[in-house]
A and B are shown apart, each in its own frame.
Chain A
């Protein structure tokens, strides 16, 4: 179970003459088994924060540790291993490998992990069914709708039950039935398997599922509260 510590994270991007503070002294602690939603206006730094925790980008300052392991100090190889074995990702925009079918995309991470073929197949078929894509397993991403692609990405992120799922707008392209179904699935994984979720979203339906709701603006955390209603 990960215990994630973010301390004084700063990240600025330069665009021409403008300097954008994507993260502005963000400090955050995430406890094992938590279910957190990250909300905030567009450009507030949600994606940047998720990327930093997943070790996809470099900080200007601050430190991130997962279970005492300093993510910001790891080199490429160990970072890749960390992501491979402990983190499931759903990215905001670009998620699937276009030359692989839905099922192959779901199996990709397990393939890199070295999971045997039969087990991979069993798990991928089950999870695709779970996200409502049975019958579409052999389609390539280009033959799937935006929402279907998103669900393939979610299936891939959770199929091997990582300790931490970082999901960036996982319901952005989904109708409300699918979105609700997906959140139920997340909740089930969270409650029964202890998977920690950190989900960035604009979606009220998603926020309702969160135990803890963090709001960001201009790269800063402006509120961080436990929700009672769940």
Chain B
């Protein structure tokens, strides 16, 4: 007996294609359903990604940096005793080479700030403005006056909320009071030279920027600093950057990536990836009922033809493949439609959609009011792969049923 043969792929495809369009309406409706489902997968994922990306990017800018170097005790007790010396030659060399793109040393101490009316606790930041900007501080966020002009700038830049709490104004003087390393009170008058607005309201209310050298002098700490903030490369993968800094920093310094500096923020990243998968699968499940039903109907209405093909010598397995191929065609067309819809609807809003109408609530969650959809290749591929794989799995049952019809059932009914 001759070996088993099946239809060539070309012949099988032609058969599947014709069967697909035999019931034009049903196929169109199913195509539309898959298209809209896939659109929802990709579009919503892009919006959520955009939101979370923004949240993470803002969070990293506020830290700032992807990696920070501290005294091991600093994060528990951010006081002046837990400061570190400026980077030595080895660390400097590392900070000057890739993947490091920028770094800055900063002083960060608790302090009291007093206007003529009010006193508040703040975090006093002694910064090199150029380094601060390289690490993500947006100079445009200084909405009144100016940002610091150098490490020796005698001025002070405060958040708008803080300015309101202090009931003072740009150009007025305030007094900053903190402790020096010998636990003596150190204080100094500053003129407010700039007012900034921050995406995180906490920063606007509690942070004050002064020149690095000015603060070091005020606190009598020489050239000691509180932390080194480093950035470079993609925030999704900081292992190389972390290792690059970790090594020369030596064991007496604590070097941590942003995912550990802000655990909540780090968690968002992982949760988001999982969430995308769940979202894609949930939509697919909704689709799968329609898909299975469509195929079942398509198969059921041609019981006789399937029987006939088997009677003519087509193998049951070839019947199975033929139905699967039909389903694959439907899926691919639906995916094509869905991807096009998604890209077409994301394109016009790629420069952001303004959510300021509902933005109050978002800002409290640390989300900015303009949403930038982020269409990621990874998410696009995930949606397509999930639909194809689960789609084929869903089609297995109808296809298998089709292959099990007995030929005689097709022709016996005269």
- By a CB distance below 8 angstroms, the chain A residues around B7 are 111-112
- By a CB distance below 8 angstroms, the chain A residues around B317 are 77
A118 within 8 A of B: no
Interface membership of chain B positions 300-326, coded 1 if the CB is closer than 8 angstroms to chain A and 0 otherwise? 000011001111111111100000000
Determine the distance from Cα of A69 to Cα of B1 in the docked complex, in whole angstroms. Answer: 10
Choose one: B5, B6, B308; the contact of A94 (CB below 8 Å).
Answer: B308
Task: Using C-beta atoms within 8 Å of the partner chain, give the interface range for chain B.
Answer: 35 or more
Choose one: A81, A95, A111, A113; the contact of B1 (CB below 8 Å).
Answer: A81
Determine the distance from Cα of A98 to Cα of B19 in the docked complex, in whole angstroms. Answer: 9
One of B136-144, B207-215, B391-399, B406-414 contacting the partner: B406-414
A186 within 8 A of B: no
Q: Give the shortest distance, in Å, between A103 (CB) and chain B (any CB).
A: 13
Q: Once the chains bind, are A80 and B310 in contact (CB under 8 Å)?
A: yes
B172 within 8 A of A: no
- By a CB distance below 8 angstroms, the chain B residues around A109 are 312-313
- On whether A111 and B8 interact (CB within 8 A), knowing A77-B316, A81-B1, A81-B2, the answer reads yes
- By a CB distance below 8 angstroms, the chain B residues around A104 are 14
Interface membership of chain A positions 81-120, coded 1 if the CB is closer than 8 angstroms to chain B and 0 otherwise? 1111100010111111111100010001101111000000
Determine the distance from Cα of A115 to Cα of B349 in the docked complex, in whole angstroms. Answer: 55
One of A24-32, A50-58, A213-221 contacting the partner: A50-58
Determine the distance from Cα of A111 to Cα of B318 in the docked complex, in whole angstroms. Answer: 12
B4 within 8 A of A: yes
Q: Once the chains bind, are B19 and A108 in contact (CB under 8 Å)?
A: no
Q: Give the shortest distance, in Å, between A224 (CB) and chain B (any CB).
A: 25
B22 within 8 A of A: yes
Instruction: Write the chain A residue with the least CB distance to B17.
Output: A99
B11 within 8 A of A: yes
Determine the distance from Cα of A114 to Cα of B407 in the docked complex, in whole angstroms. Answer: 21
B18 within 8 A of A: yes
- By a CB distance below 8 angstroms, the chain A residues around B11 are 111
A78 within 8 A of B: yes
Instruction: Write the chain A residue with the least CB distance to B11.
Output: A111
A228 within 8 A of B: no
- By a CB distance below 8 angstroms, the chain A residues around B314 are 80, 84, 112
Determine the distance from Cα of A57 to Cα of B3 in the docked complex, in whole angstroms. Answer: 22
- By a CB distance below 8 angstroms, the chain A residues around B312 are 83-84, 89, 108-109, 112, 156
Beyond the given A77-B4, A77-B316, please list 14 additional residue pairs across the A-B interface where CB-CB is below 8 A.
Answer: A56-B411, A57-B406, A76-B316, A78-B1, A80-B314, A82-B1, A84-B313, A94-B410, A97-B15, A99-B22, A100-B15, A100-B18, A108-B309, A111-B11
